Amino acid sequence: MAVTRKAFVIGHPIAHSRSPLIHGTWLAQYGIDGSYEAIDVPPAALADFFVRLRSGEFAGGNVTIPHKEAVFALCDAVDPLARTIGAVNTLVVADGRVQGTNTDYLGFLGNLDAGAPGWDENEPDVAVLGAGGAARAVLVALKSRRVGTIHLFNRTLETAIRLADELGPGIQPHEYSDFSITAPFCRLVVNTSSVGMHGTRFEGLDLARLPEDAVVSDIVYSPLETPLLADARARGLRGIDGLGMLLHQAVPGFEHWFGVRPEVTPDLRARIEATLEG
Ligand code: ATR
């Protein structure tokens, strides 16, 4: 008899997580005998949770705030890309060992490939906005593909310089005041910063000099239509919102735990979209 496969997302708090809805939709769609539950694990209880994991109760699961860095020390192995990104968001348990990985960079690429096929033809230059934690997954993703120069913009230039030194070569740090000079060469713009959340906007970021076929992508998904994306679309540019990245980053985890590679469908997207603010 087949064993029921169980997976989870751990975080603290965890009630806001959309992952149970995403994975639950796929479990039902593919008729899989499995479960995916949200488990609130406070930081002090994380080590005990790993004891439970090694017992074999779960096939694996997702890790979210505030545990994405702390789990490094508890995993039996962490893949090199997760190390470079500096965060583990996915755990796979096999033979009592816990392997940590990061699927955010695959989610970013999966979303871009689905929404803007051919975006990386002819090695485009790329503008990345923001140099915080989320930028690392995007930079690792971009560097895994054939792109030209990656222009890394940040409010605090020193942070961009440090990140470019760490993840370069091919990454050029800038202040936002350089944006209009580099814009004519960039066929992809990616916002990785928190600007856009709750409708906040970049002041003075002029999209007018981007090429006509440029793609503007935002990893913020609440709201779905950030002011940056609205500006891009008003200029006739293609916009890719951040919800797709959330959906696509879930694909490799589900495949690891349940053995089926799930599809990101319009129906799944609509279900999650219905849970987002305005
Ligand atoms: P995350 O892990 O979500 O990336 P983070 O590490 O705190 O969060 O990074 C937030 C990013 O948003 C940083 O690049 C930050 O710029 P600074 O390094 O200058 O702080 C950027 N950011 C936040 N608020 C911003 C604002 N009002 N204007 C421009 N950039 C902003």
State if residue 134 touches ligand 1 by the CB under 6 angstroms criterion. Answer: yes
Hey, whose CA ends up nearest to atom 5 of ligand 1? 132
The whole-number pLDDT of residue 111 equals 97
Residue type, 272: I
Q: Is the preceding peptide bond at 13 cis, omega within 30 degrees of 0?
A: yes
* Most informative mutation of 69, 155, 167 for ligand 1 (most atoms within 8 A of CB): 155
Return the active site residues. Answer: 68
State if residue 159 touches ligand 1 by the CB under 6 angstroms criterion. Answer: yes
Quote the percentage of the chain above a pLDDT of 70. Answer: 99
4 has a pLDDT exceeding 90? no
Instruction: Report phi then psi at 95, rounded to 5.
Output: 55, 40
Q: Is the preceding peptide bond at 223 cis, omega within 30 degrees of 0?
A: yes
- The string of pLDDT tens digits covering residues 204-219 is 899 999 999 999 999 9
| DSSP-derived secondary structure for 160-176 | HHHHHHHH-SSEEEE-G
Q: What's the average model confidence in pLDDT over 242-255?
A: 97
Instruction: Report phi then psi at 222, rounded to 5.
Output: -135, 95
Mean pLDDT (the chain, rounded): 96
Q: Which of 192, 140, 188, 145 is nearest to 168 (CA)?
A: 140
Distance between CA 24 and CA 125 in Å, rounded? 38
Quote the percentage of the chain above a pLDDT of 90. Answer: 95
Atom of ligand 1 nearest to the CA of 200: 27
Residue type, 140: V
- The string of pLDDT tens digits covering residues 167-203 is 989 999 999 999 999 999 999 999 999 999 988 999 8
- The string of pLDDT tens digits covering residues 82-105 is 999 999 999 999 999 999 999 999
Hey, whose CA ends up nearest to atom 6 of ligand 1? 132
Q: Which of 249, 254, 246 is nearest to 60 (CA)?
A: 254
Instruction: Give 132 Cα–ligand 1 centroid separation in angstroms.
Output: 6
Instruction: Give 242 Cα–ligand 1 centroid separation in angstroms.
Output: 16
Q: Which of 219, 157, 165 is nearest to 188 (CA)?
A: 219
The whole-number pLDDT of residue 95 equals 93
Q: Is 260 exposed, middle or buried (0-12, 13-18, 19+ CB in 10 A)?
A: middle
The whole-number pLDDT of residue 168 equals 84
Residue identified by tokens 């997976």 is 7
Instruction: Give 220 Cα–ligand 1 centroid separation in angstroms.
Output: 12
Distance between CA 114 and CA 147 in Å, rounded? 18
Buried b (16+ CB within 10 A) or exposed e, 227-254: bbbebbeeeebbbbbbbbbbbbbbbbbb
The whole-number pLDDT of residue 105 equals 96
Edge to edge, what strands does the sheet with 90-94 contain? 34-40, 5-11, 60-63, 90-94, 97-101, 77-78
Hey, whose CA ends up nearest to atom 3 of ligand 1? 134
DSSP, collapsed to helix, strand or coil, labels residue 2 as: coil
State if residue 196 touches ligand 1 by the CB under 6 angstroms criterion. Answer: no
Q: Say if pTM beats, i.e. exceeds, 0.75.
A: yes
* Most informative mutation of 129, 193, 221 for ligand 1 (most atoms within 8 A of CB): 193
Distance between CA 65 and CA 17 in Å, rounded? 10
- The string of pLDDT tens digits covering residues 18-54 is 999 999 999 999 999 999 999 999 999 999 999 999 9
| DSSP-derived secondary structure for 46-112 | HHHHHHHHHTTS-SEEEE-TT-TTGGGGT-SEE-HHHHHHT---EEEEETTEEEEE--HHHHHHHHH
Instruction: Give 154 Cα–ligand 1 centroid separation in angstroms.
Output: 8
Atom of ligand 1 nearest to the CA of 176: 29
Hey, whose CA ends up nearest to atom 18 of ligand 1? 156
1 has a pLDDT exceeding 60? no
- The string of pLDDT tens digits covering residues 110-166 is 999 999 999 999 999 999 999 999 999 999 999 999 999 999 999 999 999 999 999
Residue type, 81: L
Instruction: Give 216 Cα–ligand 1 centroid separation in angstroms.
Output: 18
Indicate the angle between helix axes 243-258 and 19-29, nearest 10 degrees: 50
Hey, whose CA ends up nearest to atom 21 of ligand 1? 193
Instruction: Give 218 Cα–ligand 1 centroid separation in angstroms.
Output: 14
Atom of ligand 1 nearest to the CA of 160: 18
The whole-number pLDDT of residue 277 equals 66
2 has a pLDDT exceeding 70? no
Inter-residue contact 104 to 126 (CB < 8 Å)? no
Distance between CA 221 and CA 243 in Å, rounded? 5
